[in-house]
Amino acid sequence: MDEPAFALRDATVGIVGLGLMGGSLALALSERKACKRIVAVERNAATRAQALERNIVAQAGADLALVAQADVVVLATPVRTILDQLPLLGRTAHSGTIVMDLGSTKREIVEAMQALPEYLEPIGGHPMCGKESAGWDAADGSLFGNAAFVLTPLARTAAGTVAFTSELVVTLGARPLVLDASRHDRIVAAASHLPFALASALVTTANDRARADELVFALAASGFRDVSRLAASDTTMMGDVLLTNSRNVADAIRDCTRHLSALADLIERQDEAGLLSELDAAAVRRRSLFR
């Protein structure tokens, strides 16, 4: 199957979890009238009511069985919830259904997808975008605009499924990037999970000091604000992310603490040349990014 068996515009899309990611997906598809209909599985009754009332989804319920109607199921729950839901989905989804997820780590999810019945079409997905605010209220149909969107096919995934999900990604305004799940997890450990760990440790360090001096946070300006922003992220989601990518994340944190210790040594030794060489290399690199 090199061509998709059906087109997105004719498909019923089942979204599991109307949080920041799932809610933004529902909004993006609905605003673009990109698919036939959306059915949503969401445990929060108020969120379901709003999504129905605003005609974003055609049907909504708390039971995963609702995805039996879907041609494409997108799991948009925290990573370990996705790992729990995948086996249940195998007993619910109809033959030929594309099963995708939006989890931030991919290796464990792709392994769990491997165990799905043969008549399902699994593929991992990870949009490289986010906000520190979580939940339906933060959802935004333009969240995926211009973002890289990683797709991690399994060996069993049909070429047509890769083509279909790539088209879906392009429809959302994002750029599809097909990657091996293990490579994805190694990369995001440094590019995404490490920044979160640094933000959290910065707040913990400053908070310790604030116990001895109440002015610590009074002197925290835009630099502290930007570096610490991610610490306010949804910790349930981030805990899952870190624990399902533990080896890579621990390695990235330890590499970074070595660089930090080296900086502390250079500063303590008043080694100006050594310090400036480290800082300059990072400054030049950073200025070349995000133009």
**Residue with token string 């909504």:** 60
- Least separation in angstroms between residue 288's CB and a second copy is 9
User: Looking at 23-31, 52-60, 161-169, 256-264, which segment touches a second copy (CB under 8 A)?
Assistant: 256-264
- Least separation in angstroms between residue 228's CB and a second copy is 6
The reply on whether position 148 binds a second copy by CB under 8 A is yes
The reply on whether position 91 binds a second copy by CB under 8 A is no
Amino acid residing at 118? E
Q: What is the DSSP pairing of strand 121-127 with strand 148-153?
A: antiparallel
**Distance in angstroms (rounded) separating the CA atoms of residues 13 and 70:** 5
- Least separation in angstroms between residue 232's CB and a second copy is 4
For residue 169, what are its two tokens? Answer: 């990604």
**Distance in angstroms (rounded) separating the CA atoms of residues 72 and 99:** 6
Residue closer to a second copy by CB (options 47, 233) is 233
Distances in Å between the Cα of 132 and the Cα atoms of 25, 115, 168, 237, 264 are: 17, 33, 25, 11, 30
- Least separation in angstroms between residue 194's CB and a second copy is 7
Residue closer to a second copy by CB (options 46, 219) is 219
**Distance in angstroms (rounded) separating the CA atoms of residues 15 and 37:** 11
Residue closer to a second copy by CB (options 33, 286) is 286
The DSSP line for 219-253 is T--HHHHHHHGGGGS-HHHHHHHHHTSHHHHHHHH
Strands (E), 20-87: 37-41, 59-61, 72-75
Neighbours of 33 (CB within 10 A): 8
User: Looking at 2-10, 16-24, 45-53, 265-273, which segment touches a second copy (CB under 8 A)?
Assistant: 265-273
Neighbours of 19 (CB within 10 A): 23
Q: Give the x/- contact pattern for a second copy in 24-53, rule: CB under 8 A.
A: ------------------------------
- Least separation in angstroms between residue 121's CB and a second copy is 25
5 touches 96 (CB < 8 A):
yes
Q: Give the x/- contact pattern for a second copy in 50-89, rule: CB under 8 A.
A: ----------------------------------------
Neighbours of 256 (CB within 10 A): 16
Q: Give the x/- contact pattern for a second copy in 172-201, rule: CB under 8 A.
A: -----x-x---xx-xxx-xxx-xxxxxxxx
Residue closer to a second copy by CB (options 129, 168) is 129
73 touches 101 (CB < 8 A):
no
Q: Give the x/- contact pattern for a second copy in 220-249, rule: CB under 8 A.
A: xxxxxxxxxxxxxx-xx-xx--xx--xx-x
Q: Give the x/- contact pattern for a second copy in 106-145, rule: CB under 8 A.
A: ----------------------xxx---------------
